[in-house]
Structure formats: structure tokens, C-alpha cells
């Protein structure tokens, strides 16, 4: 149960540093039986990183236009 909550939390990470931290954490703290879930969470983080990288400029423009209103 606690592992599922942790995985749900880390799935919102979006930086290379956070991905590295997750990788290191689970390398040092084995979770037998949860390898697939951990792999999926790391894949989600990687997708978050790619999405943010692809959309960063558009997001910045949108937020800046909202602040000027």
C-alpha cells in the first residue's frame, strides 16, 4: 500500500534530477515484486520530462500572458 502511494507521488516528477534520485533510491532500497511498477513510474517521469521540454516555451508564453491581464 505505501509503495503504491510513493509510486503515485513520484509519477508527478518532471526533471532529470528527480529521475536520477528515484533511480538511485530504488537501486539502494530494493522492492521485490514491485520492479514492473517502479519501471512504469520511471517511464512516466521520462515522459513528463519530454513533454515539459517540448511544451516549455508555449507554457511560458501562456503564463506570461496571464500575468499581464
Q: Is residue 22 within 8 Å of residue 53, measured between CB atoms? A: no
Binned at pLDDT 50, 70 and 90, residue 5 comes out as: confident
Joined grid coordinates for residue 52 = 515539459
pLDDT tens digits along 8-63: 888 899 999 999 999 999 999 998 888 998 999 999 999 999 999 999 999 999 98
DSSP 15: S
The band of 69, judged by pLDDT with boundaries at 50, 70 and 90, is low
What pTM, to 2 d.p., does this model score? 0.81
The answer to whether the beta carbons of residues 11 and 41 sit under 8 Å apart is yes
**Residue showing cell 513528463:** 48
What cell numbers appear for 67 in the block? Answer: 500575468
Amino acid at each position: 500500500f505505501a509503495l503504491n502511494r510513493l509510486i503515485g507521488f513520484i509519477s508527478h516528477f518532471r526533471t532529470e534530477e528527480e529521475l536520477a534520485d528515484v533511480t538511485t533510491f530504488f537501486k539502494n532500497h530494493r522492492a521485490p515484486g514491485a520492479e514492473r511498477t517502479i519501471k512504469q513510474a520511471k517511464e512516466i517521469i521520462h515522459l513528463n520530462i519530454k513533454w515539459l521540454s517540448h511544451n516549455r516555451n508555449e507554457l511560458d508564453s501562456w503564463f506570461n500572458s496571464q500575468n499581464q491581464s
